[in-house]
Chains A and B, each alone.
Chain A
Amino acid sequence: MDKLLFGDNQFFGVNHMSEEKARAQSIKFQDLDAIISVLDAAYDEGVRTFMCTTHDRVGEIVEHMRQQPERYAEQVFYPCMPYAHKYANAMTEDGMVGAIKRFLPDGGLLDAAFKGGMSVAKKDIEGITTLLIDAEMKMFAGMKTPVIFLQNVVVDLLLGLGFDEAFRIFADHVRSKYNAEPGFITMNLPMLLERLAKVGVKNPVVCSNINKVGFRMSGGGVDAYEEALRTHNFDAIAMSVFASGAIPPREAIEWVSKVPNLKSIVFGASSRANIRNTKELVDEYFGA
């Protein structure tokens, strides 16, 4: 795993600091060319893993790269599924069952499952889950996807519900069908690590907020997170290292470089200059 991974929030109008800034970014990245040119800059600066949501536009980006295998020979994707708003909006329109149906290649499976009423068969749930994963993975066919993530909204929802078995189903399917490591994004790192251990998901990749000011580090803040990093076996990725711009870059990277057992950092940037600056800081503090 590379020390530095490239995220995609900036391309899709996600900004935790400002709605104005989010809209400005949406306008800037309206054209696919604008996104591609930033990704090209990242690639050329040596940041070659794109950690991306399974957004329709990511499908277009992947297709662009698929057409030029030589240009993007070392490009790696870490897909993060699902694109949650797609499901949330579908749920508002069609209800939960309707939403799941909409994204399943074969609605018949769910209909069959429904006829069972209360007598839920575990294989039905496994079947539906794995079909949903496959549907999300379609856009990455033929590309390198060594880690596949479940998005935080889903991870944390399931975590609260106590639906821990779903993590095992996800991990097993990702490992067996895609020969990839299962990844989990969470805002509740300590609690998730306990539960993953409980259902036997070994050595997972886990991405969570890790930053100097403790921004969105739920379940105990910096101390609890450092304790979790010291005591659990997992590959840790830090996100929101700059806390959406609340921490100056050098200070943020210097601090995070001292966090124990951190494997990697995911960050977003909209320009070559920012990518280069971040890469240089990471090389300086983590060692090139």
Chain B
Amino acid sequence: MVGLGKMGLSHYSMINAHPNAEVVAVCDSNAYLLGVMNRYTGVQTFSDLSKMIAAAELDAVIISTPSVLHASMVRTALEAGLHVFCEKPFSLDPAVSRELTESAQAKGLVTQVGYHYRFVGAFKEVKRLLDLNAIGTVSHVIAEAYGPVVLKPKGGTWRSKKSEGGGSLYDYAAHPIDLINWYLGVPSEARGSVLGHVFSKETDDEVFSTLLWPDSRTAHLSVSWSDPSERKMSTKITVFGSNGRIHADRQECQTYISDASSAPEGYGEGWNARYTTDLTDEVYFYVRGEEYSAQLDAFVKRIEASEVEGQNSFASATGADIVLDMILRDSQRDYADASTAPSAPAVAERQGLFRRRKGV
């Protein structure tokens, strides 16, 4: 286990409870926390990743550190021949994501990134329905995520620091983006992207963007981590098709079908509702939602079966990094001169760099 923050501790608990896995060592920068864990559970503790890898006999690592550290830690783990589960977003630079993906593939290592929504029953049902062409030709998706992470101007953790890979783009928007990629593939362009501020000075609290595909499908992304009305993160997906519409959140999947003549089994004309109680498989151990246990179980099973490709592999998560980067660049684009054709990446890059320099 690398990193014992909010995600790290919950991963630790779930993987340690797995019948075929055991946590033998943990690595964190907080000496007191390491002391507590060692004293009460007997686990070996380290403050340096390389030392841990050298000293402990590991098959795999789970990396849950601030996002900016992911790439170098993943590289260190891959070089040591370890299977890697890394928290999202995978890396902050798509070129690095590609490089690490290739490196893992060359070594035949199993990789996974923590896009847990792909393990939520209702969102899996959306994928199944789209694969079955249940709502016809898809024209548009609305992907939303709202939650109460930053509700005041001052915040002390890495999540509020741009330099650490914080901000609602990487922390929140990454999830609906990954679902969009799963359903429609990676988009070719982002337009009208706004990284908005509600409370944070250093980083973004809101993300809005229009995503486009070459075949004219579109998606709207609407994200805020400064929404006080939500109890916890709430992610919603709406898909519009020529034969109906799907609306899904963590709890349920509602599907409207116009013509049910070739509808999936159990689905009929009009509204169809499926609930989490029907769509969720039992997990080996439950802490905070079946999807978190299920994704770790999938990781263990893939290692046992040497399945290098699988759900949320580095290759798949690189798609999210590409879109995150696309939105970031588009948000820095100068729309005053937008009469020209949509930005070629090189142009966007130059403008992005120019903007950043000006801001320094």
Chain A residues with CB under 8 Å of chain B are 12-19, 85, 88-89, 91-98, 113-114, 116-120, 122, 125, 153, 156-163, 165-166, 187-188, 191, 213-219, 221, 243-244, 246
Is B87 in contact with chain A by the CB < 8 A criterion? no
Report how far A95 CA is from B286 CA in the complex, Å: 23
Contact between A113 and B32 (Cβ–Cβ < 8 Å)? yes
Is B356 in contact with chain A by the CB < 8 A criterion? no
Q: A89-B148, A93-B149, A93-B155 are in contact. List 15 more A-B contacts (CB 8 A).
A: A16-B251, A18-B252, A18-B275, A91-B6, A94-B156, A94-B157, A116-B32, A117-B32, A120-B39, A125-B40, A153-B287, A157-B9, A157-B10, A215-B280, A216-B282
Report how far A120 CA is from B37 CA in the complex, Å: 10
Least Cβ distance of B211 to chain A in Å? 24
Report how far A188 CA is from B19 CA in the complex, Å: 13
Known A218-B282, A218-B285; judge A118-B34 contact (CB<8 A).
yes
Contact between B232 and A85 (Cβ–Cβ < 8 Å)? yes
Is B16 in contact with chain A by the CB < 8 A criterion? yes
Q: B1-37 interface mask toward A, CB cutoff 8 Å, 1 = contact, 0 = none? A: 0000110011011101100000000000011111111
Least Cβ distance of B358 to chain A in Å? 31
Contact between A161 and B9 (Cβ–Cβ < 8 Å)? yes
Q: Which residues of A contact B288 (CB under 8 A)?
A: 153, 156-157
Is B204 in contact with chain A by the CB < 8 A criterion? no
Contact between A157 and B150 (Cβ–Cβ < 8 Å)? no
Least Cβ distance of B271 to chain A in Å? 13
> Which of A13, A91, A243 is the one whose CB lies under 8 Å from B231?
A13
Is B265 in contact with chain A by the CB < 8 A criterion? no
Contacting residues of chain B (84-106) with chain A, CB-CB under 8 angstroms = none
Report how far A158 CA is from B290 CA in the complex, Å: 17
Report how far A220 CA is from B39 CA in the complex, Å: 31
> Which of A16, A89, A165, A218 is the one whose CB lies under 8 Å from B149?
A89
Report how far A220 CA is from B196 CA in the complex, Å: 46
Give 30 CB contacts A-B under 8 Å. Answer: A12-B231, A17-B275, A17-B276, A18-B252, A19-B234, A19-B249, A85-B231, A88-B6, A92-B6, A93-B156, A94-B157, A95-B157, A96-B9, A97-B32, A117-B31, A117-B35, A120-B36, A120-B38, A153-B287, A153-B288, A156-B287, A159-B13, A160-B16, A160-B17, A160-B285, A162-B41, A163-B40, A166-B40, A219-B284, A246-B278
Contact between A93 and B150 (Cβ–Cβ < 8 Å)? yes
Contact between B35 and A119 (Cβ–Cβ < 8 Å)? yes
Chain B residues with CB under 8 Å of chain A are 5-6, 9-10, 12-14, 16-17, 30-41, 148-150, 152, 155-157, 159, 231-232, 234, 249-252, 275-278, 280, 282-288, 290, 293
Q: Which residues of B contact A217 (CB under 8 A)?
A: 282
Least Cβ distance of B275 to chain A in Å? 5
Contact between B149 and A92 (Cβ–Cβ < 8 Å)? yes
Please, which residue of chain B has its CB at the minimum distance from the CB of A153?
A: B288
Please, which residue of chain A has its CB at the minimum distance from the CB of B154?
A: A93
Please, which residue of chain B has its CB at the minimum distance from the CB of A119?
A: B35
Known A88-B6, A88-B232, A120-B35; judge A160-B13 contact (CB<8 A).
yes
Contact between A187 and B35 (Cβ–Cβ < 8 Å)? no
Q: Which residues of A contact B234 (CB under 8 A)?
A: 19
Q: Which 6 A-B pairs have the closest CB atoms?
A: A160-B13, A187-B286, A120-B35, A218-B286, A160-B17, A246-B277
Report how far A63 CA is from B37 CA in the complex, Å: 39
Q: Which residues of A contact B17 (CB under 8 A)?
A: 159-160, 188, 191
Q: Which residues of A contact B290 (CB under 8 A)?
A: 216
Please, which residue of chain B has its CB at the minimum distance from the CB of A160?
A: B13
Least Cβ distance of A268 to chain B in Å? 15
Least Cβ distance of B41 to chain A in Å? 5
Q: Which residues of B contact A116 (CB under 8 A)?
A: 32, 35
> Which of A14, A166, A213 is the one whose CB lies under 8 Å from B277?
A213
Known A120-B39, A161-B13; judge A188-B250 contact (CB<8 A).
no
Contact between A19 and B277 (Cβ–Cβ < 8 Å)? no
Least Cβ distance of A148 to chain B in Å? 21
Least Cβ distance of B304 to chain A in Å? 20
> Which of A18, A216, A243 is the one whose CB lies under 8 Å from B286?
A216
Q: Which residues of B contact A159 (CB under 8 A)?
A: 13, 17
> Which of B5, B39, B149 is the one whose CB lies under 8 Å from A96?
B5
Please, which residue of chain B has its CB at the minimum distance from the CB of A156?
A: B287
Q: Which residues of B contact A216 (CB under 8 A)?
A: 282, 286, 290
> Which of B231, B251, B283 is the one whose CB lies under 8 Å from A218?
B283
Please, which residue of chain B has its CB at the minimum distance from the CB of A88?
A: B6
> Which of B34, B159, B277 is the one whose CB lies under 8 Å from A92?
B159
Q: Which residues of B contact A12 (CB under 8 A)?
A: 231
Contact between B286 and A165 (Cβ–Cβ < 8 Å)? no
Contact between A188 and B32 (Cβ–Cβ < 8 Å)? no
Q: Which residues of B contact A214 (CB under 8 A)?
A: 282
Report how far A16 CA is from B287 CA in the complex, Å: 15
Report how far A15 CA is from B149 CA in the complex, Å: 21
Report how far A18 CA is from B277 CA in the complex, Å: 10
Least Cβ distance of B33 to chain A in Å? 7
Please, which residue of chain B has its CB at the minimum distance from the CB of A165?
A: B40
